[in-house]
């Protein structure tokens, strides 16, 4: 088993070298955020030992936006180079035509025990195009020790978070922690900002960009206010650099002990609690804040395993997918890496709950997470998300007010909608 990294600019050359060098029976592409690649390799190794087959593991870029364009290039070339792909929860509609219906191999029982909503999400025109591997929802990480030291409660609202972050950041800096930040999140112009900004907007009562009937709802004062609030953080409780942060940059600052609050996904828990973490034992996890009378909104994320229609070994590929998404692997990944199982029963498993207590405490957050509008916009979702994260980034960067941005976005999305959904 060897490891390669694929990046869009190198794709043609890399793809060619894979086919020549390939001795393995299968190739799987996995993410490499945090401990993701290692966990994937360990799971694959267990299957290799069990079956005697060999698998090549290929890593992909961390940004979901970059991964998507890489996969689109590979699939639109009908390439046989990658058999199994780790695909984002917002991609089934975009990629379905290139993916195998897993029920053709696994039968009708495929998907049993997994959350129905994810199976529905992965079923396009009656075809189950990916098996759920792990689910994700945005959560708020906070420094228990600093809140206690400075006498502050865990914030319920965005306004409280803003104030608490500012007070503690200033006090810590005055005591010599010059690099202390108040709040870090994912502010780069990419898919991660789509989720962060959706969380701000939805928790202000400003909707989900496009509703489940396909109506564009983003041009409203609550959405504008949510974006303006986030813009006010930049250069105050959040560093200017957050405009270029993905998950891993935010985690780096928080895990290095340099932020009071962080928005991230559950995976950051296992790493923040690891032996070499500066914040081990000092971290709490809770639901994201809301504003006014509205509810907290955790953006729904997650990843699935799909088999390419161009695979030369489809049945074997499906067997590996079934193994990796099965009970044993999901449990191992939950305990070792805090990856949320998609198998409902694992949320009652004592070893899982001991390793990641908030899987129990925040269960409602996970099952009620707010979806990005990938279902109603179908294969136009990529364009919708790009337009939304660009608009949000414009507001964060001070190029537009929230009001201007949502009005321009409404116009842009209406144009996309006329042609696509």
For binding to ligand GLC (CB under 6 A), which residues are involved?
64, 88-89, 136, 191-192, 195, 247, 265, 301-303
Collapsed DSSP state (helix, strand, coil) of residue 136: strand
Least distance between ligand GLC and beta carbon 91 (Å): 9
User: What are the helix (H) ranges across 150-220?
Assistant: 158-174, 191-202
Nearer to ligand GLC, 191 or 394 (CB): 191
Structure tokens at 79: 């390439």
In the complex with ligand GLC, the residue whose CB is nearer, 26 or 272, is: 272
As measured in angstroms, the least distance from the Cβ of 93 to ligand GLC is 14
The nearest distance, CB 311 to ligand GLC, in angstroms, is 24
Report the residue number, 86 or 311, with the smaller CB distance to ligand GLC: 86
| Shortest reach from residue 393's CB to ligand GLC, in Å | 14
Decide the pairing of beta strands 26-30 and 55-59.
parallel
**Eight-class DSSP state of 362:** T
Q: Rounded to whole angstroms, how far apart are CA atoms 286 and 372?
A: 21
- Residue with smaller CB distance to ligand GLC, 287 or 311: 287
User: 393: exposed, middle or buried (C-beta count within 10 Å: 0-12, 13-18, 19+)?
Assistant: buried
Q: How many CB atoms lie within 10 A of CB 281?
A: 9
Whats the size of the chain, residue-wise?
421
- Alpha carbon 244 to chain centroid, angstroms: 16
Complex with ligand GLC: residue 64 or 342, whichever CB lies closer: 64
Kindly provide the b/e burial profile for residues 141-168, where b requires at least 16 CB atoms within 10 angstroms of the residue's own CB: bbbeebbeeeebebbeebeebbebbbbb
From the CA atom positions of the chain, what is the Rg in Å?
21
User: Whose Cβ is closer to ligand GLC: residue 95's or residue 225's?
Assistant: 95
Q: How many C-beta atoms surround the C-beta of residue 396 within 10 A? A: 26
CB of 264 to ligand GLC, least distance (A): 9
205 or 266, CB closer to ligand GLC? 266
Contacts of 355 (CB under 8 A, 6+ apart): 270, 334, 335, 336, 338
Q: How far is the CB of 118 from ligand GLC (least distance, A)?
A: 11
Q: Residue 220 in 3-state DSSP?
A: coil
Reference 401, options 203, 184, 228; nearest CA is 228
Residue 36 C-beta: closest distance to ligand GLC, Å: 9
Which residue in the shown chain puts its C-beta closest to ligand GLC?
301
Q: Smallest distance, Å, CB 391 to ligand GLC?
A: 17
Q: Measured between alpha carbons, how far is 137 from 157 in angstroms, rounded to an integer?
A: 18
Minimum CB–partner distance for residue 213 and ligand GLC (Å): 23
Of the two residues 163 and 249, which places its CB atom closer to ligand GLC in the complex?
Answer: 249
* Extended strands (E) in 100-227: 123-124, 127-128, 131-137, 139-143, 181-184
Q: DSSP assignment, residue 341?
A: P
Report the residue number, 89 or 129, with the smaller CB distance to ligand GLC: 89
Which residue lies nearer to ligand GLC by CB, 164 or 246? 246
Q: How far apart are CA 337 and CA 133, in angstroms?
A: 13
Closest contact distance (angstroms) between CB of 301 and ligand GLC is: 3
């Amino acid at each position: 088993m060897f490891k390669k990294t694929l990046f869009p600019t190198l794709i043609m050359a890399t793809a060619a070298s894979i086919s020549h060098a390939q001795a393995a029976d299968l190739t799987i592409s996995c993410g490499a955020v945090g401990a993701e690649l290692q966990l994937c390799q360990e799971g694959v190794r267990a299957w290799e030992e069990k079956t005697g087959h060999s698998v090549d593991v290929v890593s992909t870029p961390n940004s979901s936006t970059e991964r998507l364009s890489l996969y689109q290039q590979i699939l639109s070339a009908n390439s046989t180079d990658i058999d199994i792909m780790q695909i984002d929860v917002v991609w089934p509609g975009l990629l379905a035509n290139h993916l195998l219906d897993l029920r053709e191999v696994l039968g009708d029982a495929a998907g049993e025990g997994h959350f129905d909503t994810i199976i529905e999400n992965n079923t396009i025109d009656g075809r189950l195009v990916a098996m759920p591997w792990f689910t994700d929802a945005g959560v708020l990480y906070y420094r228990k020790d600093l809140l206690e030291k400075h006498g502050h409660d865990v914030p319920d609202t965005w306004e409280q978070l803003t104030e608490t972050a500012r007070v503690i950041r200033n006090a810590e800096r005055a005591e010599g922690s010059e690099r202390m930040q108040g709040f870090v999140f994912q502010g780069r112009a990419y898919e991660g900002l789509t989720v962060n900004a959706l969380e701000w907007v939805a928790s202000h009562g400003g909707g989900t960009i496009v509703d489940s009937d396909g109506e564009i709802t983003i041009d409203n004062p609550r959405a504008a206010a949510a974006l303006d609030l986030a813009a006010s953080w930049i250069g105050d409780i959040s560093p200017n650099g957050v405009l270029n942060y993905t998950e891993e940059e935010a985690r780096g600052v928080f895990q290095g002990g340099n932020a009071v609050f962080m928005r991230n996904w559950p995976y950051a828990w296992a790493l923040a609690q690891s032996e070499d973490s500066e914040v081990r034992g000092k971290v709490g996890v809770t639901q994201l804040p809301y504003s006014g009378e509205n509810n907290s909104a955790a953006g729904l994320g997650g990843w699935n395993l799909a088999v390419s229609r161009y695979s030369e070994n489809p049945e074997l590929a499906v067997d590996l997918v079934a193994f990796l998404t099965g009970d044993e692997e999901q449990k191992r990944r939950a305990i070792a890496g805090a990856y949320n199982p998609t198998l409902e029963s694992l949320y009652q498993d004592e070893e899982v709950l001991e390793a990641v207590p908030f899987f129990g405490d925040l269960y409602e957050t996970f099952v009620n997470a707010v979806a990005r509008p990938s279902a109603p916009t179908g294969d136009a979702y990529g364009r919708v998300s790009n337009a939304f994260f660009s608009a949000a980034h414009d507001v964060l960067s001070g190029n537009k007010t929230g009001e201007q941005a949502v009005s321009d976005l409404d116009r842009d999305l209406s144009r996309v909608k006329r042609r696509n959904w």
